[in-house]
Structure 1
């Protein structure tokens, strides 16, 4: 009987422990206002009762932009996955370390001599991380050599990407992301398909064929021979279903197109990451030289330029101030990772994620951001392992207002409801016809089960708030935008 009683008490005790809720992790914590405050009441009502947040985690931090005082917080010290809100840290550190006038460069280098129209010796294409190189830039390089009278290269054409290390993918990239532009490989020598500058990718467009039963028409931007297209799709009747899949096989540059496209349908497009962007850039330059009538007798390869070389041509990117617009407005992952490696190279002479993240950590320390509360794994937020609390993110947004480059940083943020892609960015179709339209300047973020929005909001009383909203464990991450927009509207109405 005594043994049975002990067993019963043990079960009751274990049940009590298991049943005890972890209140500190899930209950709202308001540190700067009384519960009777109207703003606190509205936000608590939303966060604690909206069914979209059932079973999810909502880290919310709101501060006065003038004083930095927290006016509302909900599990804001809990580490959560920030998705692309991580770019707010990367952009701030890049402006601090590199400066708003910083430019990337690309060079054509020579170790030989030109005699007549023949260049005797190797020519190197050396990359320094420029994510804005376009196909026409290689045309300009070829034209520059032609203008110098070169018609033949008796040597090799060699691509040098040694400015960064050879780690192409951050350590937490998942399999399904690797073949698309948002998971593109990172190289010091890379190419973008257009002026959105999605470096390391090509745009594949599928249009209906001339008649039913025929294969669709496929175009590449930029047009190139580096990727191979397997067109296994079919044009179907106008009333049939459109189902097009565009997929690159891992470890190759074979892109396979399957499915059906109705004869009168609009085109389908996909941004596909290339395998080995350095080799891709080299092939584009080789083709551009051929287009200008310049022959190469020694073949092409990837290598490292010697120290003693002559610069035949130099291409410079736009300044960082301008690059931040497509980076932040359109949430460009490759820009974020390149900036991390560039900071590592400039400060520590090591173009790696490890070195760049160390530099980022040093910058965050300088702004008083608590490193012990974070786990940072990349610059873009595509990692599902990166963790940071909403309170630390809102603190960063408050602190950087004091920096001389803050206007550049602020104007890189998407503006709610603004139709222009390079102004409204990823917020251009959100918060329209609401009190928040045109008054929210914030970075969006989304990965599977995660949605985030952090930035600044001007309310109708003329006060500016700094805010961070990080939603995790969402069954449908896209529904997080509804919650974020409701919170932003409440702040704008104050």
Structure 2
């Protein structure tokens, strides 16, 4: 099927009878829906052409936004940092090179890039190899001082510590794949050849930084499939438990590592070794001295491109990195405190009032975050006027598009022919919370802005169905 290209149509919405019909349909849905009994729903609908509020239901009530918080973070970051902003990773030396030996230490300094891959470390090592260095007499030192050393946002649940979406935040980190789940490894579990065999386990990237303890077994083909992958607290020991049937599909799990800075330096050491560069001393953490000279530098993709994995895949670590980066660039301190100050002052430009909100992080993982739906719809209206809006819009998931980097978290939703390709929106999920905010092209050729925040749900999956029903009503206007 050919996917329709989403192009907002900003002709004004004017028919009062249409507005009455819209209000009646939405009121009926929100009052009759069983899943909303005992729950809270904030709904805000605006015209994309003039920002006129066409419908609201508890639109000024502060509700938990979940990952809809990322709409504010992305808008503030691209406005403050710019579409072409990149995150450098630098390699320094603090001594001369004699007989192909660096008479000193080698430094790897991170400046926040959340998209570093093992291949990027390979490229840095190749450049050092080309410079003629085959041995480092001193240490390999990682420098993550671009940000502070607070690794977790204020309200991150302890139960999320080992997950990829709750991974530690550092200025020096690495991702296992091009989904860019920074600070994590991917663990794949395949069934053994015979019953009672231990499953085969593969870690990406290949690294000894994590220790695998495999306690799982392969069972008969019709046996129960239940694989548990978990990391021990404050360690990089990953336990694999449970059962996996013969010939069953590979089980994949992403696990957040403990100390992503040292993880990144360890991967860099592997790259150096693979390029024939030996290390005489140890891996340490420290700061690049002022007297050191730069040997190599890697730049991330520009922020306009980074917004795609950030918003399409709802990457929590990217959100928190952007908060700390704004703090570092504007306030000289890479912390949540300073970064959130920048974000709150930045969104005022879009007619959003931080005084009506509680903002504790950039990702929305906090259960303390509170935003009214009317504020999110106002943000989405105002950003349309910005020169970077096309990048912002492109980064939002496109409903029903199967390509992960197009459809993102909406690739398996709103797939019917009359809706597919007509909605760009940010999803959100937390325990008891579901949210969806974005843009929809209607049957009459208009574009509407919507924000739906559902709180105190007993079943978040039912919240998704309610959101889809609301969006379907909007599409048919």
Do they fold alike, i.e. is TM over 0.5? Answer: yes
Counterparts of 1:33-432 in structure 2, within 5 Å, are 37-432=20-415
The runs of at least 4 consecutive aligned structure 1 residues that moved more than 2 Å come to 32-36
Partner of 2:11: none
Distance in 2 (CA, whole Å) between partners of 1:380 and 1:371 is: 16
CA contact (8 A) 1:35 1:41 kept: no
Partner of 1:3: none
Distance in 1 (CA, whole Å) between partners of 2:98 and 2:325 is: 38
1:313 to partner: Cα distance: 0.5
Larger mean Cα displacement after TM superposition, 448-457 or 431-440: 431-440
1:448 counterpart (419, 428, 431):
431
Unaligned segments of structure 2, at least 5 residues: 1-14
1:288 to partner: Cα distance: 1.6
Larger mean Cα displacement after TM superposition, 367-376 or 443-452: 367-376
- Cα deviation, 1:403-444, whole Å, max 9, x if unaligned, reads 111111011110111111111111011011153221111000
1:250 to partner: Cα distance: 1.1
1:368 to partner: Cα distance: 2.0
SS, match of residue 230 in structure 1? strand
1:34 to partner: Cα distance: 8.6
SS, match of residue 411 in structure 1? helix
CA contact (8 A) 1:246 1:255 kept: yes
SS, match of residue 37 in structure 1? helix
Compute the TM-score of the two structures, normalised by the length of structure 1: 0.92
1:466 to partner: Cα distance: 0.7
Distance in 2 (CA, whole Å) between partners of 1:189 and 1:141 is: 15
Distance in 2 (CA, whole Å) between partners of 1:288 and 1:64 is: 53
- Cα deviation, 1:186-207, whole Å, max 9, x if unaligned, reads 0000000010100000000000
Distance in 2 (CA, whole Å) between partners of 1:341 and 1:372 is: 21
1:136 to partner: Cα distance: 1.2
Compute the TM-score of the two structures, normalised by the length of structure 2: 0.96
Larger mean Cα displacement after TM superposition, 384-393 or 427-436: 427-436
CA contact (8 A) 1:215 1:231 kept: yes
The count of residues paired between Structure 1 and Structure 2 equals 463
Partner of 1:10: none
CA contact (8 A) 2:19 2:54 kept: no
SS, match of residue 351 in structure 2? coil
CA contact (8 A) 1:97 1:343 kept: yes
1:177 to partner: Cα distance: 0.9
SS, match of residue 333 in structure 2? coil
Distance in 2 (CA, whole Å) between partners of 1:313 and 1:479 is: 51
Distance in 1 (CA, whole Å) between partners of 2:353 and 2:264 is: 41
Larger Rg: 1
Partner of 1:28: none
Unaligned segments of structure 1, at least 5 residues: 1-31
Distance in 2 (CA, whole Å) between partners of 1:36 and 1:85 is: 26
1:36 to partner: Cα distance: 8.0
SS, match of residue 47 in structure 1? helix
1:163 to partner: Cα distance: 0.2
Q: Residues 434 and 470 (structure 1 numbering): CA distance in 2 closer, same or farther, change over 3 Å? A: farther
Distance in 1 (CA, whole Å) between partners of 2:360 and 2:247 is: 45
CA contact (8 A) 1:344 1:355 kept: yes
Distance in 1 (CA, whole Å) between partners of 2:417 and 2:366 is: 33
Distance in 2 (CA, whole Å) between partners of 1:399 and 1:312 is: 44
Distance in 2 (CA, whole Å) between partners of 1:75 and 1:254 is: 47
Distance in 2 (CA, whole Å) between partners of 1:197 and 1:264 is: 29
Larger RCO of the pair (alpha carbons < 8 Å, separation 6+): 2
